[in-house]
Structure 1
Amino acid sequence: FNTQGTGFVNPTDNKLYFGSSDATTKFVYQERKTYTNFDYADTSFAITIVSATGTTVTVASTAGLAVGWVVSQGVQTSNIISIPDSTTLIVANELSWIAGAATVFRPIPIELEFIQEHMGNPGIVKHFKECHAIFSGALFDSFNLGFFTDFNEAIVTTTLIPKILNGWGTGPWGSMAWGGGNAKAQVIRGLIPLQHRRGHWLSITVDYSDALTAFALDGFTLWYQSLSQKFH
């Protein structure tokens, strides 16, 4: 990500402007403010698509690109999952790419660690079972929650998959508005990893990096059972 040394709000367009303090990227960055998913990205780079077959996209050069970034052309977007050589990208989705100009977006990395959940009594050992994540917005393909306890501090993740309504024909009849829909407010169930089901308290982390997607995480519901004060 970019290191910014100075910034201000331009009253003319009501956008943030940042001056980079990175010697290798001496640019002034303008805030994106389209109120769409295209706001949720860091730096963007122009690329030239030469051809495309299936999920293989041939470009003029892959220099400076990385796995996890997003290729965009028009309204279609897809994540880069592999870069085999200096002119080839492997993307996640088979789309109708056209030879010509395109854009690659770098994601904004998000790392969070929530306060320990001891369920009101840190002196009692618990058996943690499930974590239900509450989202008021879930415009993503997958979302990883990490877990660790005072018994085991190695973070293990659980992948949450939202109920996404992508349009006509992609969901059961009656499950969405006529003509399609979006991944709106929902609760997504996740199982606590076996390594972290026992402890005095449970810690939850988020490590998310996906451009042109958005989420609104409102909280969690934890399911657990109190055991005893004895442990080894």
Structure 2
Amino acid sequence: MRILLVEDDESLASGLLLALRRAGYTVEHVQDGAAAVRALTDNHFDLVILDLGLPRLDGTEVLAALRRGGSAIPVLVLSARDAVRDRIGALDLGADDYLVKPFDLDELLARLRVLERRRVGLPVNRLRLGELELDLAALSVRWQGKPVELQLREFMLLKRLAEHPHKVFHRNELEESIYGWGDGVASNAIDVYVHHLRKKISPRIVETVRGMGYRIGQADVADAETAEPAAPADTAP
């Protein structure tokens, strides 16, 4: 999931960037409200973490502009404004959640997982497709009931594909999902990660759609989802 962090406190932002990236998120950071509006206009994000007390343009104005433009992107407000009227005001403007500073990092991550589950329609932190199971909280994978050791970006790529099992992703979409603005991206990076996933899980776990991109392996998913139960044993004497 690609997140835009809008926070003017450099120390707090630095810590959040590190923690969120370790938790498997791709995160971009801007420090003022005007920059946030530009970033949201020019780029695709899956979620926004938004401070309210921002220079140049207050966070409430950013939120209002976002909703006036018809965007339904989830917004988690992270603010030192702890009055009930501030929380109600932000929620009525269209915020999806509101967390008061100072906050516990684990609680922030849990709230992000809730918004993430809601975005893709999951009731719990587990994503199952056939014999593939992803634990979104533990960043772990099981295939045919057995654990699979993946590097963080391998997990991020697999998760992105599995969240939308019928979508074909272009290479640049996948790069944006797992790399930030400042990251150097090798021209064959996605190919390398796909190769690793096929080697570690199954040769069919990621399907190449010629001339278009990649999607989660339809055959493996379908095999497990449509398999008929075995016929009962003949117990006749």
Q: TM-score per shorter chain, which class?
A: under 0.3
- The structure whose residues are more often helix, as a share, is 2
Larger Rg: 1
Which of structures 1 and 2 has the larger relative contact order (alpha carbons within 8 angstroms, sep 6+)?
1
TM-score, with structure 1 as normaliser: 0.23
- The structure whose residues are more often strand, as a share, is 1
